[in-house]
Amino acid sequence: MIKRQILIVLLGIVLFNCSSEDEINEDQQVSEKTIYTLPVVVHIIHTGEEIGTGYNLSNERIIGQIKTLNDDFRKREGTLGYNTHPLGTDAKIEFKFAEIDPDGNTTNGINRVNVDDIEYEIGNDAWFFDTLPYYAYWDKQDYINIWVFPFEPNIILGQSSVPQADLPGLENKDTSGTTGIMITTPHFGTSDLDGGSNLGRSLTHEMGHFLGLEHLWGKIENADCMEFDDYCDDTPPVSRRTGNCDGTPALSCNGESMLTQNYMDYTDDACMNMFTKDQVIRMRYVLENSTVRKSLTTSLALDRN
Ligand SMILES: [Zn+2]
Protein backbone atom coordinates (compact mmCIF):
# COMPACT_ATOMS: atom_id res chain seq x y z
CA MET A 1 0.00 0.00 0.00
CA ILE A 2 2.89 2.30 0.61
CA LYS A 3 3.84 1.94 -3.00
CA ARG A 4 0.36 2.94 -4.09
CA GLN A 5 0.23 5.94 -1.83
CA ILE A 6 3.54 7.18 -3.14
CA LEU A 7 2.44 6.65 -6.67
CA ILE A 8 -0.62 8.78 -6.05
CA VAL A 9 1.64 11.54 -4.83
CA LEU A 10 3.83 11.16 -7.88
CA LEU A 11 0.80 11.36 -10.06
CA GLY A 12 0.18 14.80 -8.69
CA ILE A 13 3.72 15.91 -9.34
CA VAL A 14 4.46 14.50 -12.73
CA LEU A 15 1.98 15.60 -15.31
CA PHE A 16 1.82 13.52 -18.36
CA ASN A 17 -0.48 12.47 -20.92
CA CYS A 18 -3.46 10.14 -25.09
CA SER A 19 -4.82 11.36 -28.37
CA SER A 20 -7.61 13.30 -29.94
CA GLU A 21 -8.98 12.59 -33.37
CA ASP A 22 -9.07 16.30 -33.98
CA GLU A 23 -5.41 16.68 -33.25
CA ILE A 24 -3.92 13.65 -34.94
CA ASN A 25 -4.30 12.33 -38.42
CA GLU A 26 -5.15 8.67 -37.94
CA ASP A 27 -5.42 7.85 -41.61
CA GLN A 28 -2.05 6.25 -41.81
CA GLN A 29 -2.12 2.83 -40.21
CA VAL A 30 0.49 2.37 -37.51
CA SER A 31 1.53 -0.90 -39.11
CA GLU A 32 2.73 0.95 -42.18
CA LYS A 33 4.75 3.50 -40.31
CA THR A 34 8.48 4.02 -39.94
CA ILE A 35 10.29 2.26 -37.12
CA TYR A 36 11.96 4.88 -34.95
CA THR A 37 15.14 3.92 -33.11
CA LEU A 38 16.01 6.05 -30.12
CA PRO A 39 19.34 6.12 -28.26
CA VAL A 40 19.34 5.48 -24.53
CA VAL A 41 22.06 5.94 -21.98
CA VAL A 42 21.63 4.08 -18.71
CA HIS A 43 23.32 5.81 -15.79
CA ILE A 44 23.83 3.23 -13.07
CA ILE A 45 24.20 5.21 -9.86
CA HIS A 46 25.82 2.96 -7.28
CA THR A 47 27.54 3.14 -3.93
CA GLY A 48 30.87 1.57 -4.78
CA GLU A 49 29.92 -2.06 -5.16
CA GLU A 50 31.55 -4.39 -7.63
CA ILE A 51 29.78 -4.60 -10.96
CA GLY A 52 26.99 -7.13 -10.68
CA THR A 53 26.45 -6.69 -6.95
CA GLY A 54 24.20 -4.42 -4.90
CA TYR A 55 23.18 -1.24 -6.68
CA ASN A 56 25.83 -1.71 -9.35
CA LEU A 57 23.69 -3.88 -11.59
CA SER A 58 25.22 -6.35 -14.02
CA ASN A 59 25.43 -5.63 -17.74
CA GLU A 60 23.23 -8.67 -18.25
CA ARG A 61 20.41 -7.21 -16.18
CA ILE A 62 20.69 -3.80 -17.86
CA ILE A 63 20.70 -5.32 -21.33
CA GLY A 64 17.76 -7.53 -20.35
CA GLN A 65 15.81 -4.46 -19.24
CA ILE A 66 16.25 -2.71 -22.58
CA LYS A 67 15.20 -5.93 -24.34
CA THR A 68 12.02 -5.98 -22.24
CA LEU A 69 11.38 -2.35 -23.17
CA ASN A 70 11.71 -3.24 -26.86
CA ASP A 71 9.61 -6.40 -26.50
CA ASP A 72 6.84 -4.29 -25.00
CA PHE A 73 6.96 -1.41 -27.49
CA ARG A 74 7.22 -3.80 -30.46
CA LYS A 75 4.62 -6.28 -29.08
CA ARG A 76 7.07 -9.05 -29.85
CA GLU A 77 5.64 -12.53 -30.24
CA GLY A 78 6.93 -15.04 -27.71
CA THR A 79 7.57 -12.37 -25.05
CA LEU A 80 5.51 -10.97 -22.18
CA GLY A 81 4.90 -7.91 -24.36
CA TYR A 82 2.84 -9.85 -26.87
CA ASN A 83 -0.94 -9.81 -26.82
CA THR A 84 -3.81 -10.76 -29.09
CA HIS A 85 -6.22 -8.10 -27.87
CA PRO A 86 -7.85 -6.22 -30.77
CA LEU A 87 -6.61 -2.92 -29.35
CA GLY A 88 -3.04 -4.07 -28.73
CA THR A 89 -0.67 -2.23 -31.07
CA ASP A 90 3.00 -2.43 -32.02
CA ALA A 91 4.33 1.09 -31.43
CA LYS A 92 7.15 0.64 -33.93
CA ILE A 93 9.44 2.49 -31.58
CA GLU A 94 12.71 0.86 -30.54
CA PHE A 95 15.43 1.72 -28.07
CA LYS A 96 19.11 1.10 -28.52
CA PHE A 97 22.09 1.71 -26.28
CA ALA A 98 23.97 4.83 -27.36
CA GLU A 99 27.05 4.03 -29.41
CA ILE A 100 28.73 7.43 -29.30
CA ASP A 101 29.09 9.39 -26.05
CA PRO A 102 28.87 13.21 -25.79
CA ASP A 103 32.64 13.49 -26.31
CA GLY A 104 32.48 11.56 -29.54
CA ASN A 105 33.95 8.37 -28.11
CA THR A 106 32.46 4.94 -28.54
CA THR A 107 30.36 3.70 -25.63
CA ASN A 108 28.22 0.71 -24.70
CA GLY A 109 25.52 3.11 -23.48
CA ILE A 110 26.00 2.11 -19.84
CA ASN A 111 27.49 4.79 -17.62
CA ARG A 112 28.42 3.71 -14.11
CA VAL A 113 28.57 6.46 -11.53
CA ASN A 114 29.89 5.96 -8.00
CA VAL A 115 28.11 8.35 -5.64
CA ASP A 116 31.31 8.64 -3.63
CA ASP A 117 32.76 10.54 -6.55
CA ILE A 118 29.92 13.05 -6.58
CA GLU A 119 29.73 15.98 -4.23
CA TYR A 120 26.08 15.65 -3.60
CA GLU A 121 24.10 13.69 -1.06
CA ILE A 122 21.53 11.15 -2.14
CA GLY A 123 17.97 11.85 -1.22
CA ASN A 124 18.34 15.50 -0.30
CA ASP A 125 15.57 16.57 -2.58
CA ALA A 126 12.05 15.25 -2.85
CA TRP A 127 12.15 15.94 -6.54
CA PHE A 128 14.67 13.55 -8.05
CA PHE A 129 14.97 15.46 -11.29
CA ASP A 130 16.59 18.41 -9.55
CA THR A 131 19.42 16.22 -8.35
CA LEU A 132 19.92 13.59 -11.04
CA PRO A 133 22.06 15.79 -13.33
CA TYR A 134 24.63 16.04 -10.52
CA TYR A 135 25.40 12.39 -11.12
CA ALA A 136 25.32 12.34 -14.89
CA TYR A 137 23.43 13.97 -17.74
CA TRP A 138 23.99 13.56 -21.46
CA ASP A 139 22.52 16.00 -23.97
CA LYS A 140 18.76 15.60 -23.77
CA GLN A 141 18.39 16.30 -27.50
CA ASP A 142 20.53 13.29 -28.39
CA TYR A 143 19.98 10.76 -25.62
CA ILE A 144 17.17 9.41 -23.50
CA ASN A 145 18.79 9.66 -20.10
CA ILE A 146 17.73 6.81 -17.83
CA TRP A 147 18.99 7.09 -14.29
CA VAL A 148 18.93 3.92 -12.22
CA PHE A 149 18.78 5.36 -8.76
CA PRO A 150 19.62 3.55 -5.51
CA PHE A 151 16.52 3.41 -3.38
CA GLU A 152 14.54 1.03 -1.24
CA PRO A 153 12.22 -1.38 -3.06
CA ASN A 154 8.46 -0.91 -3.38
CA ILE A 155 8.38 2.75 -2.40
CA ILE A 156 8.99 4.63 -5.60
CA LEU A 157 9.20 2.77 -8.89
CA GLY A 158 10.11 5.56 -11.24
CA GLN A 159 9.39 9.00 -12.65
CA SER A 160 9.52 10.62 -16.06
CA SER A 161 9.73 14.10 -17.45
CA VAL A 162 6.89 15.24 -19.66
CA PRO A 163 7.05 16.39 -23.28
CA GLN A 164 5.58 19.55 -24.71
CA ALA A 165 3.30 19.16 -27.76
CA ASP A 166 0.21 20.72 -29.32
CA LEU A 167 -1.97 17.99 -27.89
CA PRO A 168 -4.52 18.17 -25.10
CA GLY A 169 -2.72 17.90 -21.79
CA LEU A 170 0.69 18.73 -23.23
CA GLU A 171 0.30 22.25 -24.59
CA ASN A 172 1.95 24.31 -21.93
CA LYS A 173 4.62 22.08 -20.52
CA ASP A 174 7.85 23.66 -19.46
CA THR A 175 10.64 21.53 -20.91
CA SER A 176 13.54 23.62 -19.66
CA GLY A 177 14.20 21.25 -16.76
CA THR A 178 15.83 17.85 -16.61
CA THR A 179 14.62 15.51 -19.33
CA GLY A 180 14.68 11.75 -18.87
CA ILE A 181 13.49 8.86 -16.76
CA MET A 182 14.41 7.72 -13.29
CA ILE A 183 13.87 4.10 -12.24
CA THR A 184 14.80 2.97 -8.75
CA THR A 185 17.38 0.19 -8.84
CA PRO A 186 15.26 -2.64 -7.39
CA HIS A 187 12.69 -2.14 -10.14
CA PHE A 188 15.10 -1.88 -13.06
CA GLY A 189 15.13 -5.14 -15.00
CA THR A 190 14.03 -8.60 -14.03
CA SER A 191 14.64 -9.86 -10.52
CA ASP A 192 13.10 -12.04 -7.84
CA LEU A 193 11.98 -8.99 -5.86
CA ASP A 194 8.68 -9.35 -4.02
CA GLY A 195 5.86 -6.91 -4.74
CA GLY A 196 4.90 -7.40 -8.37
CA SER A 197 7.13 -4.76 -9.96
CA ASN A 198 9.98 -7.08 -10.82
CA LEU A 199 9.84 -7.69 -14.57
CA GLY A 200 11.10 -4.39 -15.90
CA ARG A 201 7.73 -2.86 -16.71
CA SER A 202 8.30 0.27 -14.63
CA LEU A 203 10.50 1.48 -17.48
CA THR A 204 7.86 0.63 -20.08
CA HIS A 205 5.30 2.64 -18.08
CA GLU A 206 7.60 5.62 -17.59
CA MET A 207 8.63 5.57 -21.25
CA GLY A 208 4.92 5.87 -22.02
CA HIS A 209 4.87 9.05 -19.94
CA PHE A 210 8.11 10.23 -21.53
CA LEU A 211 6.36 9.99 -24.91
CA GLY A 212 3.26 11.83 -23.72
CA LEU A 213 0.88 9.22 -22.33
CA GLU A 214 -1.36 9.75 -19.34
CA HIS A 215 -2.49 7.11 -16.92
CA LEU A 216 -5.74 5.55 -18.14
CA TRP A 217 -7.66 7.75 -15.71
CA GLY A 218 -5.87 10.96 -16.49
CA LYS A 219 -4.24 13.14 -13.91
CA ILE A 220 -6.35 12.69 -10.78
CA GLU A 221 -7.91 9.46 -9.57
CA ASN A 222 -11.41 9.38 -8.14
CA ALA A 223 -13.77 6.55 -7.32
CA ASP A 224 -16.93 8.05 -8.78
CA CYS A 225 -16.25 8.63 -12.47
CA MET A 226 -16.37 12.34 -11.75
CA GLU A 227 -13.60 13.66 -13.91
CA PHE A 228 -11.09 11.79 -16.02
CA ASP A 229 -9.46 11.85 -19.42
CA ASP A 230 -6.39 10.21 -20.89
CA TYR A 231 -7.10 11.80 -24.30
CA CYS A 232 -7.27 8.38 -25.93
CA ASP A 233 -10.58 7.44 -27.45
CA ASP A 234 -9.99 3.70 -27.53
CA THR A 235 -9.18 3.21 -23.84
CA PRO A 236 -12.24 2.58 -21.66
CA PRO A 237 -13.32 5.59 -19.60
CA VAL A 238 -12.02 5.02 -16.10
CA SER A 239 -11.41 7.30 -13.19
CA ARG A 240 -9.16 5.04 -11.16
CA ARG A 241 -6.57 2.32 -11.41
CA THR A 242 -7.42 -1.36 -11.60
CA GLY A 243 -4.60 -2.17 -9.29
CA ASN A 244 -4.78 -5.93 -9.54
CA CYS A 245 -4.47 -8.73 -12.02
CA ASP A 246 -6.22 -11.51 -10.20
CA GLY A 247 -9.06 -11.69 -12.68
CA THR A 248 -11.51 -9.78 -10.49
CA PRO A 249 -14.03 -8.16 -12.85
CA ALA A 250 -13.49 -4.44 -13.02
CA LEU A 251 -15.75 -2.18 -15.06
CA SER A 252 -15.16 1.22 -16.54
CA CYS A 253 -17.45 4.21 -16.11
CA ASN A 254 -19.60 3.08 -19.06
CA GLY A 255 -19.62 -0.60 -18.10
CA GLU A 256 -16.85 -1.81 -20.39
CA SER A 257 -14.09 -4.01 -19.05
CA MET A 258 -11.14 -2.04 -17.80
CA LEU A 259 -7.85 -2.48 -19.60
CA THR A 260 -6.05 -3.97 -16.64
CA GLN A 261 -3.26 -5.15 -18.93
CA ASN A 262 -2.45 -1.68 -20.19
CA TYR A 263 1.02 -0.38 -19.43
CA MET A 264 -0.50 2.90 -18.23
CA ASP A 265 -2.47 1.24 -15.44
CA TYR A 266 -0.82 0.25 -12.15
CA THR A 267 -1.05 -3.51 -12.30
CA ASP A 268 1.71 -5.95 -11.53
CA ASP A 269 4.41 -6.29 -14.17
CA ALA A 270 3.31 -9.85 -14.96
CA CYS A 271 -0.13 -8.59 -16.05
CA MET A 272 0.94 -5.84 -18.43
CA ASN A 273 1.14 -6.36 -22.18
CA MET A 274 -0.58 -3.56 -24.07
CA PHE A 275 -0.49 -0.11 -25.59
CA THR A 276 -3.64 0.68 -27.56
CA LYS A 277 -3.70 2.10 -31.08
CA ASP A 278 -4.58 5.59 -29.88
CA GLN A 279 -1.84 5.50 -27.28
CA VAL A 280 0.63 4.53 -29.99
CA ILE A 281 -0.61 7.31 -32.27
CA ARG A 282 -0.18 9.81 -29.46
CA MET A 283 3.35 8.67 -28.62
CA ARG A 284 4.40 8.79 -32.28
CA TYR A 285 2.91 12.25 -32.70
CA VAL A 286 4.93 13.48 -29.73
CA LEU A 287 8.04 11.87 -31.15
CA GLU A 288 7.49 13.52 -34.50
CA ASN A 289 6.62 16.97 -33.19
CA SER A 290 7.91 17.68 -29.70
CA THR A 291 11.06 19.77 -29.49
CA VAL A 292 12.88 17.61 -26.98
CA ARG A 293 11.79 14.29 -28.47
CA LYS A 294 11.98 14.69 -32.25
CA SER A 295 15.76 15.11 -32.30
CA LEU A 296 16.11 11.64 -30.77
CA THR A 297 14.89 10.04 -34.01
CA THR A 298 17.94 11.33 -35.91
CA SER A 299 20.48 11.50 -33.07
CA LEU A 300 24.01 10.69 -34.12
CA ALA A 301 24.53 8.90 -30.82
CA LEU A 302 23.67 5.86 -32.94
CA ASP A 303 25.47 4.71 -36.03
CA ARG A 304 22.57 4.98 -38.47
CA ASN A 305 24.38 3.68 -41.55
ZN1 LIG B 1 2.68 6.65 -14.12
Amino acid symbol at 245 = C
Ligand 1 center–CA 264 separation, angstroms: 6
The pLDDT assigned to 120 comes to 66
The three-state DSSP-derived secondary structure of 27-50 is CCCHHHCCCEEEEEEEEEEECCCC
The pLDDT assigned to 15 comes to 36
Domain boundaries, given as residue ranges, for the chain: 2-14+29-296
The pLDDT assigned to 228 comes to 86
The pLDDT assigned to 249 comes to 67
Ligand 1 center–CA 152 separation, angstroms: 18
Ligand 1 center–CA 213 separation, angstroms: 9
Query: With left for phi above 0 and alpha for psi between -120 and 50, is residue 218 left, alpha or beta?
Result: left
The pLDDT assigned to 11 comes to 36
Ligand 1 center–CA 265 separation, angstroms: 8
Q: Is the pTM of this model over 0.85?
A: yes
The pLDDT assigned to 241 comes to 86
How many angstroms separate the CA atoms of 88 and 52, rounded? 35
pLDDT mean by block of 10 residues, the chain; 305 residues: 40 42 51 90 97 98 98 98 96 98 97 87 66 93 97 94 95 90 97 95 98 93 86 91 73 85 94 96 97 95 89
Topology at the third CATH level for domain 2-14+29-296: Collagenase (Catalytic Domain) (3.40.390)
Ligand 1 center–CA 215 separation, angstroms: 6
Ligand 1 center–CA 289 separation, angstroms: 22
Query: Which residues are the active-site residues?
Result: 206
From residue 7, how far is each of 29, 104, 187, 247, 270 by CA, in Å? 34, 38, 14, 22, 18
Ligand 1 center–CA 259 separation, angstroms: 15
